[in-house]
Structure 1
């Protein structure tokens, strides 16, 4: 089963000028296919930092989606950082170039203008077809300005309207054999007026007694229905192990005199 990661790039996300939308959408797209997001990195427009992270991404063997920074303005560094991380030059990708040219011809036609490939702004747009040597393209259904892939690391624009269908295309094209292979079960229960410190020994005992399961604790201080409480539960890929650990947990909580609310299943 592959491990899936997400890299989100842009100073605007770290400064607060834009709010990230890629993390919840990646979770949604992966979850709809029975997959899960394992980690996220967010980096500003710093080429050295991006290249350093990409070296680790390429070496990891993980499936990594990178959103942002593949344009051709001075604050776009992802294409160059990817080439640096790989130790290869940037090269004009013929198919990506052809798609950009087709897009520019269409725009000129819509405006009733003659198309001049050598015009300065059109030459600048073609820079968006400069990818690390050996990359393959990711089709962009929104405006035909492609993203690119190198191995299991996939690069797409920061615009959600472009990035999300491109991410879906990558998943459906390259990773369909893994869909619905992840069987993950969660069971939890509401524990009212409890403290995590008092529940920690029970959590540690359960993880030691039931290999392969994880125990989680999600406190809430102002829930509109349950008030202050802890959503305490177990999760794992083995239904029997999860059920056994959950039943043990509920018995133990009862013996501790905890005020228990409803069970939550996922």
Structure 2
């Protein structure tokens, strides 16, 4: 479950620039992901064909109301960068009283999610195949109970740190869409990135670390224990879970 990132290392600004016809053109900011090549399996391709009409969501559809999307007023979880989707499907299956929206840019991952959701009979799950920053623009203020970001790309090299998705601006974007008391839950297996997350979020206005400033939480039971995580632990890697609550 990693965010992928763009191959262009040149900073890009979000400035609005007038075009020759007088209309504004919008430059995209620095990406935290890169679209990696990958072929769809037959199972993924079939799941996309069958499930996308009911479970897929498009940027072109515009702003959403989670209550209308799912047809009920429920606890709504947004997961950014769900990878191949197994753990998100497990969470949706384990909590049918909640509703889940996933965001993933990698098409085989989306196909995998839909395949697993179909096999599990999960209906409380929707997905975008888009940049999470663009998706967040469509989410109403104070409408999400939880935002999950598990094992994002840590961008190990210092020159790439600007690509890390967890930054001051991102924190305030999530603050807008989270309900009062809503939770931003991060997990990483790269300790320097956990320190970065803590530094950014402890300084972010409107949040409180539920474990105390600079502290991590024990892995919560609702986050599935994945093969990816087990492989890392077998190699001596740690995993750090970090949770912040929106207080204002």
Asked if these proteins are the same fold (TM beyond 0.5), I'd say no
Q: Which of the two has greater strand per residue?
A: 1
**Larger gyration radius, structure 1 or structure 2:** 1
Q: TM-score, normalised by structure 2?
A: 0.32
Structure 1 length as normaliser, TM-score? 0.30
Bigger proportion of residues as helix: 1
